[in-house]
Structure 1
Amino acid sequence: MTATAFLAGIGTALPGAPVDNAALGRALGVSPEWIDVFVGTRLRHFARDLDTGEVRGTLAGLCARAATQALDRAGLDPADVDFLVLATATPDRLLPTTATEVADRLGLGQLPAYQLQAGCSGALQALELGRALLAGGAGAGLVVGGDVTHRHLDLRPGAARRPAGELVNYVLFGDGAGAAVLTAQPLGDRLAVRGVLHRFTGLGRDPGQIVHWYGAGDAVPDGPAVTEDYKAIEEFVPGMAAEALWETLELAGWQPQDVDYLLPPQLSRHMTHRILDRLALPGAREISCVSDTGNTGNALPFHQFDRLAAAARPGERALALAVESSKWIRTGVCLEKV
């Protein structure tokens, strides 16, 4: 398959020092061992000090840092950018969009700036849209993804007494951003996009995760702002990942033995192991980062792409998958180093 887009430069950003399970356990009033047994993640970063509550960064700031790094890696200037697409589930504000705030920080004007409201699948949805814009005549663009979940952490006394289904959100997630320069010609990291999958599969199904937004006119909510059906996620996500794997391979015209690197969905380290068992690509080398970053939502695929760009040699191929459990979306992308 002829590539219509290339990842030319990748950038990532994480706020502050890493927070280990001991520090998070102290803040929540739970044991570090419980966190390890539940999710298997060792570290994460927050744009907020867990001891003082001080907010030390914004999503727009993290995304701008990642995008600047991506441009540097690609050897391009902001003037070379024809569009910006940003995916997030946790924008800084409803308006103005975080996408326009990032464009402003980068000095980008007179260009399309799109914002996709999406969970873990958003980074690959942004890649799909960017690829279409290149096919429409653009020369280069920025696709960006990031999330800051610290605003949903209520660390007042009693957090440890929350139900496990609510407390799991406190230990799964972290804050971060990532970005890639998408070009019509092979430049920089030269990762050719061979196929992109994006499928909504939640017709008639209850959501696995709900994140509420409450305005001043809303009634005081009876429940938490974030809820997660972790049992449903454990049940459905591995199968959805397997379906995405085969569909994405078909789009690219690849066989399983053609894949050198597998970038699996990154909900948590324990969940990644379950997914890998289901995917059964024994010849592919795993590229994961969730143990060291926590689940950073739309940032995670870019952190995996960053590791892939450093490892892949010309001719090697990679398959990346992301699954969103809010209303069940499966996505995938095939990449080849050229």
Structure 2
Amino acid sequence: MTDHPAYIASVGTALPGDPIGNEELAKRFGIDADWIEVFIGNRTRHFAVNLDDGEVLHTLADLAARAAGRALASSGVSPDDIGFIVMGTATPDALMPATVNLVADQLGLDHLPTYQLQSGCAGALQALDLGRTLITSGTHKAGLVIGGDVCTKHLPLGQDFAGLAPSELVNFVLFGDGAGAAVLTDEPIGARLSLLRVLNRLIGLGREPGQTVEWFGVADRDSGRQALKEDYKAIESTVPVMSSEILWELLDEQGWSEGDLHFLLPPQLSARMTERIVAELNMPSATEISCVADTGNTSNALPFMQMSRLVDRIEPGQKAIGIAVESSKWIKAGFALEKV
């Protein structure tokens, strides 16, 4: 038992540009809008790049700083009291400098430790895990945790989409760009969400990756390798099973029964996958908090986007569990919250 509990005081999010609907996407890429609706289920998404020429209009640092600024503004915590920044992302703006340090610069923060964790959908929760540890250890009284991704910069827009394999085509309709952030504190202020547990566990020993994002240097940028690749069948069969395991582990650890859970924040790969996972988890007492149908799969931003919706609904004494599964090398992640 720790002597220093950790709390989420506030959450902020940021999405680039206007939402792009399925009809606009279908027209731009020559994709059947009905196929997007039936197979993926996402209605809209936001892109940080110009779809006509691929120009980056919003960097990850821009979006992350905007989300973090909003979290700070509503937290009741002075920027001078922020003791650390932890950021999780799969798509940093550059290999160096670390994007987290560009975010700190935009926020006007200096003379504090910063950490950047390279990971997919579990990266936000890995960042939350580290942030919680820094608070509960008594090392810091407050800090910023950030998650975000700009996936579209990895997608080549000037190609013949009619000839793409489904495993590659799905990436153009599945993902969106965005960022989210939370202010963690050692006392209950603001949103007053007690961060009871963060689960973060690799289970990928000997297993093939379910998702790969390539990083090309000058020597291999024209290699012809697919930049972003998913084994959607493996993800479809594995993620629901892992989600159930995560949920029950967190319930058991907290000593909660099914009826004790008020809110469920399920994995957000796609709207269709989320529907399936929620049905299989079968938690009728818990209200689902999802956003992927409107935001697209924003990877490390998603848990914060779900939490931002939770903040406005959860009442004192109510409990919530969030689940995230990373398919790149199979990571179980989740968290347990209670409003105090």
Q: TM-score normalised by the shorter chain: which range applies?
A: over 0.9
User: Which one of 275, 278, 281 corresponds to residue 277 of structure 2?
Assistant: 275
User: Which one of 229, 232, 238 corresponds to residue 230 of structure 1?
Assistant: 232
* Aligned position for 2:87: 86
Q: How does 1:23-102 map to 2 (within 5 A)?
A: 23-102=24-103
* Aligned position for 2:310: 308
* Aligned position for 2:148: 146
1:141-181 deviation per Cα after TM superposition (whole angstroms, max 9, x unaligned): 00000000111222214123200011111111000000000
- For the 8 Å contact 1:27–1:155, the answer to whether it is kept is no
* Aligned position for 1:160: 162
What SS class does the counterpart of residue 306 from structure 1 fall into? Answer: helix
Indicate yes or no: 2:151 matched with 1:180.
no
CA shift at 1:50, angstroms?
A: 1.4
- For the 8 Å contact 1:196–1:251, the answer to whether it is kept is no
| More off after superposition, 247-256 vs 232-241 | 247-256
What SS class does the counterpart of residue 9 from structure 2 fall into? Answer: strand
Q: CA RMSD in A?
A: 1.3
User: Which one of 316, 319, 322 corresponds to residue 320 of structure 1?
Assistant: 322
- For the 8 Å contact 2:155–2:228, the answer to whether it is kept is no
What SS class does the counterpart of residue 51 from structure 1 fall into? Answer: coil
CA shift at 1:52, angstroms?
A: 4.2
* Aligned position for 2:203: 201
1:25-53 deviation per Cα after TM superposition (whole angstroms, max 9, x unaligned): 11211111111111000000001121343
Letter in 1 for 2:328: S
* Aligned position for 2:265: 263
Letter in 2 for 1:282: P
Runs of 4+ in structure 1 deviating by more than 6 angstroms, as ranges, are none
1:274-310 deviation per Cα after TM superposition (whole angstroms, max 9, x unaligned): 1112211111000000000000000000000000000
| More off after superposition, 180-189 vs 218-227 | 218-227
* Aligned position for 2:337: 335
Letter in 2 for 1:5: A
| More off after superposition, 285-294 vs 101-110 | 101-110
What SS class does the counterpart of residue 15 from structure 1 fall into? Answer: coil
Q: How does 1:4-23 map to 2 (within 5 A)?
A: 4-23=5-24
CA shift at 1:219, angstroms?
A: 7.1
Question: How many residues are paired up?
Answer: 338
Q: How does 1:286-305 map to 2 (within 5 A)?
A: 286-305=288-307
CA shift at 1:255, angstroms?
A: 2.0
CA distance in 1, matches of 2:90, 2:253: 27
What SS class does the counterpart of residue 204 from structure 1 fall into? Answer: coil
* Aligned position for 1:123: 124
| More off after superposition, 297-306 vs 273-282 | 273-282
TM-score (norm 1): 0.97
1:63-112 deviation per Cα after TM superposition (whole angstroms, max 9, x unaligned): 00000100111112211100000000000000000011101111111111
Note closer, same or farther for the CA distance 1:267–1:219 as it changes in structure 2 (3 Å cut). closer
What SS class does the counterpart of residue 74 from structure 1 fall into? Answer: coil
CA distance in 1, matches of 2:229, 2:243: 22
CA shift at 1:223, angstroms?
A: 2.5
Letter in 1 for 2:161: A
1:227-247 deviation per Cα after TM superposition (whole angstroms, max 9, x unaligned): 100000000000000011111
The percentage of aligned residue pairs carrying the same residue is 56
Letter in 2 for 1:113: T
CA distance in 1, matches of 2:232, 2:130: 30
What SS class does the counterpart of residue 249 from structure 1 fall into? Answer: helix
1:3-35 deviation per Cα after TM superposition (whole angstroms, max 9, x unaligned): 721000100000000000011111211111111
CA distance in 1, matches of 2:162, 2:306: 32
What SS class does the counterpart of residue 317 from structure 2 fall into? Answer: coil
Letter in 2 for 1:272: T
